[in-house]
Chains A and B, each alone.
Chain A
Amino acid sequence: MKPILEIQNISKRFRIKHESQPYLSIRDAICSMFKSKTTDEEFYALKHVSFNVFPGESIGIIGKNGAGKSTLLKILSKITPPTSGKIISRGRIASLLEVGTGFHAELSGRENIFLNGSILGMKRREIQNKFDEIVDFSGVEKFLDTPLKHFSSGMQLRLAFAVAAFLENEILIIDEVLAVGDAEFQKKCMGKMDEVSNSGRTILFVSHNMGAIAQLCKKGVLLAEGKTSIISDMHQVIDKYLDSNIKSSRDLNRKHLTKWKNKNQFVELQMINSEGHYVNEFKHNEKYFVQVKLYLPEYNPSLELAISLYDRSKNRIFTIHEPLSKFKMSNEEIIVKIMFPSNFLTPGNYSWLMCINHPGIIIQDIQDDICEFIIVDNGSQFYNYQAGSYGSVFVNYEIESIY
């Protein structure tokens, strides 16, 4: 089978002018004729990127900001030409680099469906045939004849996605379209995209939402500094991407605290992954550890270590109390490591509250809101609820049918 898209050795160079405005003026052009050449810096947004896409594949493109994802999509959608290399395409490409391109605030919803549809490359008859479905999917029937400027931003977005959802091009290029909208609509969109990819069409999907991309795409491309770093199975690509993030954030989370004399206190607090690296990002399906070092010049066997976990809205999720008498002490110091299982916390941001406590008498040291860490979605059941709230823990449950 021939690939539907052959991306061959694509490079894109930009010139960065250091002091001038983003656009030229004649004065500048005339001046520069007389001046010696200004020192333009050349910058490659993409360097020798090559890969093939086969019909029916859905490919996820991930990478950090500035890795060249958007430039690649712009070249694929013919918005900007590559500096060198070429792409051979064997199908009609529709690109959704933004939903609602060409929407006009003064026009009504109905008029905007036609305008946006035709800008996206649909024929007028096609739009007429699908008009009812589009309106139905968007759920804004009541406001069809209202100018778009009176729509809420959510409604505009629904309308825009609804039009795009009915494109029939063989290749769909989608850039972060799902980053907005409420949870319910996001779910609807993901469902529609699943349907599209199952119908045998080819999708190129760029997103920072690892959960969504893991669910939707089988194959992945990781871009780093304009080059393809890995092309492989989507889960492997995501793992590699998250690992590369971990390297750059290593040591961020070590909390060294100043040592006071003659006072029981925390000296070090840190989070560790199963390989022993200090990190602050964990995949939802991996284990993570908290390591705490205590300095206890005023040791008392009834002292306790208390640890609580906060979610991002500062709700306390659980608390642990451990008597310090359980632990070995050397040099007036105790080091403990607590393991938390994988598939325990749901994706999101968390932080800790830790204290050394003499129960009922006094709190000897308290560290609030520290060791912040992130649980990253690696394809969990919550992938399409990024904006929604689904609680903080995965739960083991059994479900059976009674009838």
Chain B
Amino acid sequence: MEYEIKSQSKITVGFAELWQFRELFYFFTWRDIKVKYKQTVLGFVWAILQPFLMMLIFSVFFGKALKVPSDNVPYPVFVFSGLLLWTVFSSGVSNAGNSMVSNANIIKKIYFPRLIIPFSSILVSLFDFLMALVVFVGILIYYQTNIDYTRMIIFLPCGLLIAIISTFGIGTFLAALNIKYRDFRYVIPFLIQVLMFLTPVIYPISILPKLWMKYIIAINPMYAAIELFRNGIIKKPLDLNLILISLFSAVLFLLIGVLYFRKTEAYFADLA
């Protein structure tokens, strides 16, 4: 085995190296999950409790009080299906965005492909997603929702995959920016809050009166993720144009995020 250490020449994703260090994905994720619920009385219940409480609050204010339409399913089912993926995105982006800075002590002392760090923090959010999915099944049963299983098996993973792509793209981009410009520490929570209202999580996109508004929403990569995910539960026509715009934006963010991350990663240790 012979290799060279020199200053960077071209930017690649470095799949071979990621594969070589694959066990680290597991260890970082495992560490974060363990640490997250250490010294808590409720432990993993928190992963379920958070989206569940959010759902209750939204159902009371938006479903009952404001009577937001919900595509012919009970509002709690509607909003929880959105919140499931939204939580993956919001916690994933904020964890990934801060991951490089919070792991600075490791980055400065040891080498491994840096992409493992933001990716592992997204895997932690996926773990929470799986826990919350159990609650979702409970809610579906409670409201006796009619489910077309083939539809579900096709659309749920599609939605999840797009959510992961979006989260990873934006998360790595912010992680790399954050290590250079610490301003992003403050930008990230604000960004997530704003994006929540620009994503049809608590309302269906059909309530938007003008077409151009829908197109603006579609630039948000999470639009496609949530829309497809919901399609596994709710039968309704999909606006393919909007979905494609959103998909394109998800892939674009992934490319920008990963390539920018790879371009700057060599100097992380000097900047952290």
The dominant DSSP class at the B interface is: mixed
Given the known interface contacts A87-B4, A87-B6, A97-B109, the answer about A106 and B183 at a Cβ–Cβ threshold of 8 Å is no
Q: CA A82 – CA B5 in complex, angstroms?
A: 8
Q: CA A250 – CA B24 in complex, angstroms?
A: 52
Which A residues are CB-close (under 8 A) to B39? 106
Given the known interface contacts A23-B182, A29-B181, A107-B34, the answer about A115 and B27 at a Cβ–Cβ threshold of 8 Å is yes
With an 8 Å Cβ cutoff, the count of chain A residues facing the other chain is: 44
Q: Which of B48-56, B153-161, B217-225, B262-270 contacts A (4 or more CB under 8 A)?
A: B262-270
Cβ-defined contact, B23 with A79, below 8 A: no
Q: Is A111 an interface residue (CB 8 A)?
A: yes
Q: Is B144 an interface residue (CB 8 A)?
A: no
Q: Is A185 an interface residue (CB 8 A)?
A: no
Q: Which of A116-124, A188-196, A366-374 contacts B (4 or more CB under 8 A)?
A: A116-124
Q: Is B180 an interface residue (CB 8 A)?
A: yes
Cβ-defined contact, B6 with A77, below 8 A: no
Among B1, B107, B109, B267, contact of A90 (Cβ-Cβ < 8 Å): B1
Most buried by B among A27, A91, A118, A120: A118
Among B2, B6, B23, B181, contact of A123 (Cβ-Cβ < 8 Å): B23
Q: CA A114 – CA B31 in complex, angstroms?
A: 10
Which B residues are CB-close (under 8 A) to A26? 181, 183
For residues 100 through 138 of chain A, which have their beta carbon under 8 Å from a beta carbon of chain B?
101-102, 104, 106-107, 111, 114-115, 118-121, 123-124
Given the known interface contacts A24-B180, A27-B183, A118-B23, the answer about A81 and B1 at a Cβ–Cβ threshold of 8 Å is no
With an 8 Å Cβ cutoff, the count of chain B residues facing the other chain is: 35
- Nearest CB to that of A7 among chain B residues? B5
Q: Is B151 an interface residue (CB 8 A)?
A: no
Q: CA A119 – CA B31 in complex, angstroms?
A: 12
Contact flags (1/0) for B102-134 with A, using CB distance below 8 Å? 000111111110000000000000000000000
Q: Is B3 an interface residue (CB 8 A)?
A: yes
- Nearest CB to that of B107 among chain A residues? A79
- Nearest CB to that of A111 among chain B residues? B34
Cβ-defined contact, B106 with A102, below 8 A: yes
Q: How far is the CB of B110 from chain A (nearest CB, A)?
A: 5
Q: Is A306 an interface residue (CB 8 A)?
A: no
Contact flags (1/0) for B1-41 with A, using CB distance below 8 Å? 11111111000000000000101100100010011001100
Q: Is A156 an interface residue (CB 8 A)?
A: no
Cβ-defined contact, A115 with B31, below 8 A: yes
- Nearest CB to that of B187 among chain A residues? A26
Q: Is A83 an interface residue (CB 8 A)?
A: yes
Q: Is B213 an interface residue (CB 8 A)?
A: no
For residues 168 through 182 of chain A, which have their beta carbon under 8 Å from a beta carbon of chain B?
none
Cβ-defined contact, A88 with B2, below 8 A: yes
Which A residues are CB-close (under 8 A) to B34? 106-107, 111
Cβ-defined contact, A120 with B110, below 8 A: yes
Q: Is B60 an interface residue (CB 8 A)?
A: no
Q: Is A95 an interface residue (CB 8 A)?
A: yes
For residues 161 through 203 of chain B, which have their beta carbon under 8 Å from a beta carbon of chain A?
179-183
Given the known interface contacts A89-B4, A101-B109, A123-B23, the answer about A80 and B270 at a Cβ–Cβ threshold of 8 Å is yes
Seen from chain A, the residues whose Cβ lies within 8 Å of a Cβ on chain B are 14, 23-27, 29, 74-92, 95, 97-98, 101-102, 104, 106-107, 111, 114-115, 118-121, 123-124, 147
List 28 A-B residue pairs with CB atoms under 8 Å apart, sorted by A's residue number.
A29-B181, A76-B5, A78-B111, A79-B107, A79-B269, A80-B266, A80-B269, A81-B7, A81-B266, A81-B267, A82-B7, A86-B4, A86-B5, A86-B6, A87-B4, A88-B3, A89-B3, A89-B5, A95-B110, A95-B111, A101-B105, A106-B34, A107-B38, A111-B31, A111-B34, A115-B27, A118-B23, A121-B112
8 tightest CB-CB pairs across the interface, nearest first? A86-B6, A78-B111, A87-B5, A118-B27, A101-B109, A106-B38, A79-B269, A81-B266
Beyond A79-B108, A80-B267, 16 extra complex contacts between A and B, CB < 8 Å: A23-B179, A74-B269, A76-B5, A77-B110, A79-B107, A79-B269, A81-B6, A81-B266, A82-B7, A86-B6, A88-B2, A102-B105, A102-B106, A104-B31, A107-B34, A115-B27
